[in-house]
Amino acid sequence: MTRSVHSLALAQSEWTVRRALHLEEVEKLVEPHRARRSAGISHPVHDFLFTYYNFKPAQLRRWHPGYGVALENAGEYAAFSGYRVDESGTATVEAAVLERRRHTVEFVWNLLNQTSARPAVLGCFGLHEWAMVYRGGEDAIRHQSVPLRLGFAGTDAVVESLPLKCTHYDAFRFFTPDAAPKNSLPLARETQIDHEQPGCLHAGMDLYKWSFKLLPLVDSDLVMRCFEHALLARELDMRASPYDLAEYGYSPIRIETPAGRAEYVRQQQQLADRAAPLRDTLAEKCRELLGH
C-alpha cells in the first residue's frame, strides 16, 4: 500500500512566492508562442515543443510542488485533479495518483537509468532531420514555409555521403522509406529502451516529456528546467538541419563540411553534459516515488 507521507510542509508565504516565480518564468517562454498562434504565425523551431509534445501552455503555468510536499492554506488546490485538501486547508497530491501512475514511474526510471549507464555516442551530426527529407521531394518537407539550404539534390547528397547513426526511435520513425535502411541500427518501439544514450539530443529533449508526464508527482521547477533544456536542444537540432532558418535569426551549422561537423559535436557534448544532472535528478525523483 502506498504510504501517504509528507516530508515537507510549505507555508503559504513560501509556496505562493515560488508559484509566482514559476508563472513569471513560464510566461517568458510561452507568451511568444501564444502570440504567434493568435496571429496564425508558425515557428519552425519553437512550435515543436508545443505541437510534438502536445503539452498546453496552461498546463505549464500550473505550479505543482511534487508528491510528498504539503501546501498550507491552499484550499484552491481542491479544484485541481489529483489533490486532496484536508480540513485545515492543507493540500497534498493524493496517494492514489502514485498508485495509478506507478507503471509510468517505473518505465521512466528504468529508461533514464539505462540511458545514463551507456557512453555518450556523438557524431550523428543531426542527420535525422536530413533523413526525414531524403528522396522524399516536396511531400517530405516538414516545414513548408522554410526552404532547404542545399535544395533537394544537395540534401540527398549529404545523406549519401555520411553514415546515419540515429539511436532515437522517435526521430528514426520519421525517416523516409529510402533513408530508414541506411541507419546503422534497425530501431523499433519495442527496443527503444535498449538504444537510448546520453549523447542524443532527442534523449535530452525528452527529459521534458518524461518530467511533464509525471506531473503532479514531480515538481514544476524540475519540469521547467527540462523545458529550458529542450529549447536549447531544439535550436541546435534545427541549426544543423537542412532548412534555411536565416529568416528566423538562426545561423546554420553546416554539417556538410568538416568544420560544421566539428562544431556540431562540440555543442552536442555541451548539451549532453547539461542534460546529465537533469536526467539524474528525474531518475532520483522516480526512485523516491517508487520507495513510497
3-state secondary structure 5-45: CCCEEECHHHHHHHHHHHHHHHHHHHHHHHHHHHHCCCCCC
Print pLDDT tens along the chain (292 aa): 334 445 699 999 999 999 999 999 999 999 999 899 899 988 999 999 998 988 888 899 999 999 999 999 999 999 999 999 999 999 999 999 999 999 999 999 999 999 999 999 999 999 999 999 999 988 778 777 899 999 999 999 999 999 999 999 999 999 999 999 999 999 999 999 999 999 999 999 999 999 999 999 999 999 999 999 999 999 999 999 999 999 999 999 999 999 999 999 999 999 999 999 999 999 999 999 999 8
What pLDDT is recorded for position 7?
67
Do residues 79 and 62 touch, judged by C-beta distance below 8 A?
Answer: no
What pLDDT is recorded for position 143?
76
